[in-house]
Chain A
Amino acid sequence: MKKGIKYIVLAALIVLTGYNSIYIRKLSDVQNASGAQRFDAAAYARHFLHTTLPAHADRAIDLAQLTHSLATDPAKAWSASHALNDGNNRYFLVKGQGRITRVDSEYAYLDIQDKPVLLATRYIIGTAARDASGLISVDDFTTTMDMNTVSEELNKLIRKEVLPSFTTAAKPGENVSFIGALELQQNKTPPDTLEITPLNLIIQ
């Protein structure tokens, strides 16, 4: 009888010790509890597009002035560009006003001081929207993946929130004022037709 009690106590001890020794938790729960919060690229992009950029709208260079400067004083013109690396692809935050001459499924065609300018209305691709202002630094992010996701989220926001009202209303003959991002390659002569990624569009 005594032996039986001994075994029961021993078994209870083993079960109790074992139960308190092993914890099974979902990996996702552990990650969430570790304090390492996931970066919310969508929220960052939204704040950047709707709050940060408008607060720094004075950084935008007049497009007509930039094209003139690229032709007459390239060093000065390029010094106003930004990029996250020191490669040939450089980005400018630009502003301007122009008359819409044509609209198709991919662009609104503007005429600015007799120079053709395309406002992209369908394919919002690349890092121009993220990099043109020079306000975003790689050191702001824990990983480059976070920073790159911001670029994708910004492009999505432009497609969803900047373009729909514009493409519905844009018609030839109307005047539009814009703030946008321009990508140029420093090792090449700027193209005759400049393509702008829109960040803010107002039909006047």
Chain B
Amino acid sequence: MKPLTFAILTSLLLTGCGRHDQQHPKKIAIIVSTLNNPWFVFLAQTAAKKATDLGYSSRIFDSQNNTDLESDHFDNAIASGYDAILFNPTDAQGSVTNVKKAKDAGIPVFCMDREINSKDAATSQILSDSYSACIDLGKLFVSTLHKKGSYVELLGIVSDNNTWNRSNGFHSVVDNYPQLKMVARQAADFDRNKAMEVMESILQAHPDIDGVFCGNDAMAMGAWQALTAAGKAGHVKVIGFDGADDAIRSIKEGKLTATAMQFPKRIAELAAGDADEYFKGRRDFAKKLPIPVEVVSAHNIDNYTAYGKKE
């Protein structure tokens, strides 16, 4: 091949590549545990918006709290040539394989809110500090109930680390007060309807409770509904976790006692920002980044709105 022809062909090829990159921006897959909970919808949509603002295309995948479906989404994302995955896992242990699969395919994974049981599979994990927040919720619970009474705990999904970080943080405080007695503890999978059913059933056996600690706001709202139906909502103190829209309104109306405000906007934007920096060459990400969570009660409700602080 003559040198001139070679030069022309090479320059045409390079120009073509450049156009291709501009016409087809990098793609980010946003795989979330469920879109059946407004908190995760907000998380996913915020991540998608941030990705778009940064110039990337994105698509949201709903795992419906099913690890098999989540695995299919990962296969799909890998086969479809996605360049990064912003990930909210369904199962701390079960999701590790999916993240490793993406890593092996050279796709960075940035976990949002929920943790996987691995230090090195994900590029980074941006996690709410649920444990510390539940220590504060536990202190509030103890003082609200004046250190005595019977209470119920509704757990989230038992294979999720957030479930146990919240429960353990709460108990690390409350268990120091022997006159506070937990009369029932059941899983309601972070689901409002399930929480209502579970609470209705618990109330049959324990009608005289004083408090309910729930691992998220959806369950707190479900428990509140059951307590209202049983005519006990005025007396029983209900605490949730998340800072969801209906929980914030409920605290304002004097119904729920408290929640813990996670900051999904910050988590989602950090994850999308990390993906952007990864594309630009950065590799030194904190393996786990705990994001502070703040207690919201009638005392400070005016400072907060759904999913965050008032600006």
Contact = CB atoms under 8 A, between A and B. Distances in A.
Interface of A: 84-89, 123, 125-127, 138-139, 141-145, 148-149, 151-152, 155
Tell me what chain A mostly uses at the interface: helix, strand, loop, or mixed.
loop
Contact of A123 (B164, B176, B292): B176
A138 B165 CA distance: 14
B117 A143 contact: yes
Given A85-B292, A142-B117, A143-B117, A151 B161 contact: no
A139 B172 contact: no
9 residue pairs, one from A and one from B, having the closest CB atoms: A87-B292, A85-B290, A148-B131, A85-B292, A138-B288, A139-B287, A85-B129, A143-B117, A126-B135
Contacts of B161: 143-145
A143 B292 contact: no
A125 B117 contact: no
A126 B286 CA distance: 24
A151 B288 CA distance: 17
B27 to A, nearest CB: 29
Interface in B263-311: 286-294
Contacts of B165: 144-145, 148
Contacts, number: 70
Contacts of A143: 92, 115, 117, 161
Contact of A127 (B132, B139, B164): B132
B32 interface: no
Contact of A87 (B169, B172, B294): B294
B67 interface: no
- Interface extent on B, as a size class? 20 to 34
Given A125-B172, A125-B176, A139-B287, A144 B132 contact: no
B290 A144 contact: yes
A125 B170 CA distance: 11
Contacts of B184: none
Contacts of B176: 123, 125
Given A139-B119, A148-B165, A151-B172, A89 B288 contact: no
Nearest to B134: A148
Contacts of A152: 168, 172
B180 interface: no
Contacts of B132: 84-85, 87, 89, 126-127
Contacts of A139: 119, 286-288
B52 interface: no
Contacts of A125: 135, 139, 172-173, 176
A144 B172 contact: no
B45 interface: no
Interface in B89-130: 92, 115, 117-119, 127, 129
A148 B292 CA distance: 15
Contacts of B168: 145, 148-149, 152
Contacts of B118: 142
Contacts of B164: 145
